[in-house]
Amino acid sequence: MGQIAAVISRRNTDVSDVVRRMLENASPHPGDAYGLASEKGARTTAKIPEIPGSPSILGHKHVKVHPEDPAQPLGQHGYATTYEGRIWHSSDPSDANAIMDTLGPEPRRGAEALLEGNCSLAFTVLDQGRLLCARDTMGLVPLYIGEDEELIAVASNRKMLWIAGLNAQAVPPGHITEISGKGIKSEPVQTLSQPPLIRPSMDDAVKTLDELLTRAVEARCRGASKVAIGFSGGIDSSLLAHYADRAGARVDLICVGMEGTRGFEEAERTADALDLPLRLEAFTADDVEEDLDAVLWSVEEPDPMKIGVGLPTYWAARSVAETGHRIFISGNCADEVFGGYQKYAREYASKGDSVRETMYRDVTSSHETNFERDYKICSDLGLELRLPFADIDVVKYGLSLPTELKLAKNPASLRKLILRALARENGFPEELADRPKKAVQYSTGVNKVLQKLAKTEGKKLRVFLAERFARVKDDMLGEAYDR
């Protein structure tokens, strides 16, 4: 785990200083190793190494999650590679050997093979002065491109490109992008399409989903002695806790919120029912004010919804990182795939099965609305985010199911029906299986505090956050240039 930085000069000039500056400002968390590769060779050391100047350089800041994880870049067949994330069909906790074997002697063809597998992965290859980069079908791991008249660069977050003086655009999920001094060419290879509708019974669907989630959670606990789970006491995080415990990992649950939040009581009752340890951490309006800048800098945009969700995610991730965790598991994507939002229930009641298309569109845009936000927050804190509900096999099966297995015709009824049936099948008490959902930014009380902060300055929340973010960005970039 860590951050990728790669730069190509359009004018055949040395880019080593640019890559160095990007790696120096990649994230607040200290790196365990740094590596640089060019056509003139490669080095990995405890600090950013010195290598001969070159017009194309691939760099990496490495944060070790598993003992087997190697420092990067990795080299073979005359090219160098960096990657972030995992391939879930591998039995090797580090994934490095499987990734390099799949890339093989023809990295363009190997990149296609990687994307065709079950993975949460972003990777970049430097081959004969050209860059090849890609993200998995779901876009679970962030990757961005920036360019101007002199440079084209690839990075794991926007801030690294801003440091290089470039704007940032996300690499599209399921695409392979080829970059040379002449420009950028992107091609879809393995994008998510709406799967055909199937009509199993609820019992059969629950059985299949149980098998898929078992495999998805086991893979994400592979090689880990302990995992932390962001826990609300709701159906999504409770199922993940159950499956992770069944996979044999030591499970630590973390629930955060504002002081006095009612969600703590629900989380405690559910953790007791699951017989798993739970840590509760309460925060105040002062904590929101104090931590807001860090969250804005990690999320890299002032969107009110993303910041409202990002603050509780930041608190939970920071808490478990401080106790030595390196893996953070979240229930992200369960709502989009299995019908967790009230808007789906309303559309189903008024327009019928057109809601399938709405849910599909929301899943395909989740990389932008949810995954990038949470992954960057965790990465900045030294954690690797893993999302079992966004497993490609779980997603494809969930999207293929009929709406009546997810939603009732009465919009006031419970949602995510199949997940509740799955919970009952796994022996969950009725009270837990039938607990209604509440959005995290509201259940934790964060949204109300953000609204008050904006109001004290006489501004709408969107304006308040935009101005605050602009100040943070100016300050952070100014500090980076001064170093």
Question: Which pLDDT belongs to residue 263?
Answer: 78
Domains with residue ranges and CATH for the chain: 2-188 (3.60.20.10), 202-463 (3.40.50.620)
**18-76: pLDDT as tens digits:** 999 999 999 999 999 999 999 888 999 999 999 989 999 999 999 999 999 999 999 99
Q: What is the mean pLDDT of residues 124-149?
A: 97
Q: Taking the mean position of all CA atoms in its chain, how far away is CA 435?
A: 26
Q: What is the separation, in whole angstroms, between the first and last Cα of the chain?
A: 25
Give me the chain's average pLDDT, please: 94
DSSP state of 369: I
The residue among 425, 398, 394, 32 whose CA lies nearest residue 220 is 394
Distances from the Cα of 109 to the Cα of 37, 113, 121, 199, angstroms: 22, 7, 16, 36
pLDDT band at 442 (very low <50, low <70, confident <90, very high): very low
DSSP H/E element including 350:
helix 342-351
Indicate whether 432 pLDDT > 90: no
Burial class (CB in 10 A: 0-12, 13-18, 19+), 322: exposed
The Cα–Cα gap between 74 and 95 comes to 12
Q: How far is Cα 473 from Cα 96, in angstroms, rounded to an integer?
A: 35
Half-sphere exposure of 233 (CA within 13 A, CB side): 26
Residue 437 has pLDDT above 90, yes or no: no
pLDDT at 439: 54
330-375, pLDDT tens digit by residue?
Answer: 999 999 999 999 999 999 999 999 999 999 999 999 999 999 999 9
In which band, very low, low, confident or very high, does the pLDDT at 317 lie, cut at 50, 70 and 90?
Answer: very high
For residue 291, CA distances in Å to 308, 450, 466 come to: 12, 12, 16
Flag the least confident range among 92-106, 124-138, 301-315: 92-106
Phi, psi of 260 (to 5 degrees): 85, 0
CA–CA separation, 294 vs 323, rounded Å?
20
Give 421's Cβ-side CA count (13 Å radius).
19
Residue 203 and residue 388 in contact, taking contact as beta carbons nearer than 8 Å: no
* pTM of this prediction exceeds 0.85: yes
Would the CA dihedral through 25, 27, 29, 33 be positive or negative? Answer: negative
**Is the pLDDT assigned to residue 180 strictly greater than 50?**
yes
Mean predicted confidence (pLDDT) in 424-428: 94
**CA-based nearest residue to 318, from 351, 353, 290, 355:** 290
**pLDDT confidence of 466, banded at 50, 70, 90?**
very high
pLDDT for the residue numbered 206: 98
Give the DSSP per-residue string, 166-215: ---EEPPTTEEEEEETTEEEEEESS---PPPP----HHHHHHHHHHHHHH
| Helix ranges, 367-416 (H) | 372-380, 392-400
Q: Is the peptide bond before 436 cis (omega within 30 degrees of 0)?
A: no
Rounded CA Rg of the chain: 22
CA distances from residue 270 to 159, 189, 312, 387 in whole angstroms, order as listed:
39, 42, 19, 21
Q: Please report, as a single letter, which amino acid is at residue 69.
A: D
> Residues 274, 242: contact at Cβ < 8 Å?
yes
Distance (Å, whole) CA 346 – CA 410: 8
* Beta-carbon count within 10 A of 373 CB: 25
Distances (CA, A) of 446 to 218, 249, 296, 344: 32, 31, 14, 24
